Amino acid sequence: MTKQTAPTAQIWIVYCTPEQQYSIHIPYQSNLTARQALEQSGLAEQVELPEPLALGVFGLRIKDPDQHILNAGDRLEVYRPLHLNPKEVRRRRAAQHPVGRYQQGNQWKKQHNK
C-alpha cells in the first residue's frame, strides 16, 4: 500500500506569444504578491516580457502587481499589447464588405424597386 501525499496548492503563471504558450506553476506561499510570483516563475528568463508590464488574475487586470496578494489556485496572466486597435479592425472589415442602401444584394432595394 502506497502513501499518497496531499496535493500542494499552486499558482499558475501564463503568457502567450504568437508562436508559443507558456504555463508555469509555482507552489503557493501566503502573502505572495503578483510580481514576486512572476519573478519566482522564471518566465522573464525564458521570454522577453512586454513593457509596460500588464498582469491580471483570471481575466481581471491588476492595478498594482507589487500590492496584489495572490490566493491558492490563482492563474496570473501576463498580457501583451494589442497590435491593432479593435475599432480599426472593424473598419477594415466593413470597408472590404460594404453593405449599404444601394449595394447589390440588398433586400430593401429588391422589394421597393419593382
The ranges assigned to domains in the chain are 10-93
The predicted structure's pLDDT at residue 50: 86
pLDDT along the chain (114 residues), means of 10: 65 92 93 94 90 92 94 94 85 80 57 60
Q: Which fold has domain 10-93?
A: Ubiquitin-like (UB roll) (3.10.20)
Give the three-class secondary structure for 76: strand
d(CA 58, CA 70): 11
The predicted structure's pLDDT at residue 104: 56
CA 51 from chain centre, in angstroms, equals: 15
Query: In this predicted model, what pLDDT tens digit does every residue of 90-100 receive, in sequence order?
Result: 888 888 877 76
Alpha-helical segments (H) within 1-114: 34-41, 43-46, 86-96, 107-112
Closest CA to 68 of 56, 59, 50: 56
The predicted structure's pLDDT at residue 38: 93
Query: Beta strand pairing status for 10-16 and 75-79?
Result: parallel
